[in-house]
Amino acid sequence: MTSTNGRQFRRPRLLVRLGPGANTPTIVTGGNRALLLFWSCIAEIHTCASTWARRTAIFGPLTAPLEVGAHPEGFIDSHGRTVIAYTRNHGIEAITAQPGKPFGAPHRISPPNSYCQVGPAGEGGESPQPSRNGAAIFYYSCESTERQYLIRYTP
């Protein structure tokens, strides 16, 4: 099999072994040829209770699986910085990482037990799309206040 310009495709690369009950992985691409991958079940971890994330450069090594909270939304900006927002303890947290560096400590976005969930805005909404300078907007809603929010991330 060849690509449209006649070059051969490279051999497939194993990214992760999915465990039983795994959901369809979410793959996010970004600057510096970076990839961000999300799964709910990973065979090496033997659990489906959490969502897991892995980062890699298209031709680089994979990072170790990182446990993130439920319903993650993430993006990689044009400089390769990775941002993930997710639900944990019924509130919203976010983590960030520079290319090739580990994720920093979580940032609390909403109070715990506020029954908030991050996600695409509205029916058929899209995940955050960063601008050229890396800024992006996340959407989340909270059952406890019956309100919806937009929060801007700026690097």
pLDDT digits over 75-115, tens only? 888 778 888 888 888 888 889 888 878 888 999 888 777 88
Residue 119 within any structural domain of the chain: yes
Residue 18 within any structural domain of the chain: no
Residue 13 within any structural domain of the chain: no
Residue 58 within any structural domain of the chain: yes
pLDDT of residue 46: 53
Summarize pLDDT for 35-75 with one digit per residue, the tens: 787 776 655 555 555 677 777 777 677 777 788 888 888 88
| pTM as predicted | 0.75
Neighbours of 104 (CB within 10 A): 11
Query: Which residue type is seen at 54?
Result: R
pLDDT of 130 strictly over 70: yes
Residue 86 within any structural domain of the chain: yes
Residue 114 within any structural domain of the chain: yes
Q: Which helix (H) or strand (E) holds 104?
A: none
Domain count within the chain: 1
Residue 68 within any structural domain of the chain: yes
> Exposed/middle/buried for 48, CB within 10 Å: 0-12, 13-18, 19+?
middle
Residue 81 within any structural domain of the chain: yes
Show the domain range for 112. 26-153
Q: Do 129 and 75 form a contact (C-beta atoms < 8 A)?
A: yes
Q: Do 98 and 83 form a contact (C-beta atoms < 8 A)?
A: no
Average pLDDT, the chain: 76
